[in-house]
Amino acid sequence: MKGTVFHGPHDVRVERVDDPALQTPTDALVRITRAGICGSDLHFYHGAFPIEPGFVLGHEGVGVIEEVGAGVEHLKKGQRVVVSGLVACGRCFFCRRGQPSQCAESGSAVFGYGSSSAGKLGWLGGEQSEAVRVPMADYTCYPLPDAIDDDSAVFLADILPTAFFGATNGNIRPGDTVAIFGCGPVGLCAVMTAKLFGPAEIIAVDSIPYRLELASKLGAIGVDTETANQTILDRTEGRGADVTIEAVGNESALTAAIMSVRGGGTVSAIGAFAAPSFNFPIGYAFMRDLTLKAGLANINAHIPQLSRLIEKGTLNPRPLISHIMPLSEAAKGYEIFNARKDNVMKVLLKP
């Protein structure tokens, strides 16, 4: 089959790779019909995350079940499914508590992450390919209703549950002011999911005009990074936002989120950080009585309810799709997404 192979920083190529095969009784093979390029994939693209050359990228996929192992109980050949970017068993202590990101059996394994520290399951081939082996398939795959098309379903694999996780961690209450730092695909999904909790207004912060324009179309107030803090203060009688959501994954965005939240407010960080550590303003956070929540989203646990919201039209992620490209043009897709060309937002690949 063909897959999007990492060869080094800024060097990905679509080439022939080994076909996946069942390895354990709980595996399934999924033929990919749509895959997404995620902002966290750019960390690999830049060389910021450790990944071995020759590995297939991608953790956002939708497809059709081609084969199941003898231990798979709830899936069958021919079913359309979304494949969670995060592998989880659904049965361990953490999964039963709604925390599959901490799954004891999978070791928080993620598709498309090939490194010596890839977790208990070892290297998992990515989904920017023609097919993928899915371990622990009963809980990692979610059957899709006919009403949800492949393009919309891709968002269920990672970024929509991630955004919902961020909004939930923010403990948004009706009437709150919410400020979202970063208007990439995750940040705009955060705009959509934050609205589910009834805030009075959402302020979306970014430095790129076309992203702010789309945030405004989704119902947020688009604000440039240079004026964000003052705008937030002006709109909250000098208090700051009740909840801030960091959706970028860098120190400056998180610091801005911390400095823009009110005393006693909550900062929710969902951006994937490439840097292992940085200077954290703990003294300021202490004196302001702030709550900080951060973590890898519990994707599998959120897919069912978000699927229902897409199916009923409450959530519509399609406006975020800017490019649908054949898998053969994946390298071009990475180049466009990385350089922010052509008003790029979400790039989908079609094998």
**What is the DSSP code (8-state) at residue 309?**
H
238-250: average pLDDT:
96
Residue 119's pLDDT band (cuts 50, 70, 90): low
> Considering the chain, what percentage of its residues have pLDDT values greater than 90?
87
Q: What confidence score (pLDDT) does residue 253 get?
A: 94
235 pLDDT higher than 80: yes
**pTM of the predicted model as reported, rounded to 2 decimal places:** 0.95
Greatest pairwise CA separation for the chain in angstroms? 61
pLDDT tens across 85-117, in order?
999 999 999 999 999 999 999 988 899 876 544
Q: Would you say the CATH fold of 161-294 matches that of 2-158+298-350?
A: no
**Average pLDDT, integer, range 54-80:** 97
Q: Is the pLDDT of residue 132 over 50?
A: yes
pLDDT of 293-318, one tens digit each? 999 999 999 999 999 999 999 999 99
- The string of pLDDT tens digits covering residues 150-160 is 999 999 999 99
Tens digits of per-residue pLDDT, 159-170?
A: 999 999 999 999
The crossing angle, in degrees rounded to 10, of helices 159-169 and 185-194 is 50
* Residue 273 reports pLDDT greater than 90: no
d(CA 200, CA 197): 10
Q: Which CATH class is domain 2-158+298-350?
A: alpha beta
Q: What average pLDDT is seen over the chain? A: 94
Q: Percentage of residues in the chain with pLDDT exceeding 70? A: 97
Over range 116-143, report the average pLDDT: 85
- Tell me phi and psi for residue 185, to 5 degrees: -55, -40
| Residue 113, pLDDT score | 77
User: Could you say which of 3.40.50.720, 3.20.20.70, 3.30.70.580, 3.90.1150.10 is the CATH number of the domain covering 161-294?
Assistant: 3.40.50.720
Instruction: Specify the residue for token string 């991630």.
Output: 162
pLDDT of res. 125: 85
pLDDT at site 180: 98
Domain assignments of the chain as residue spans, ordered by start: 2-158+298-350, 161-294
Q: Tokens 């390895």, residue?
A: 23
Residue 50 has pLDDT above 90, yes or no: no
Radius of gyration, alpha carbons of the chain = 20
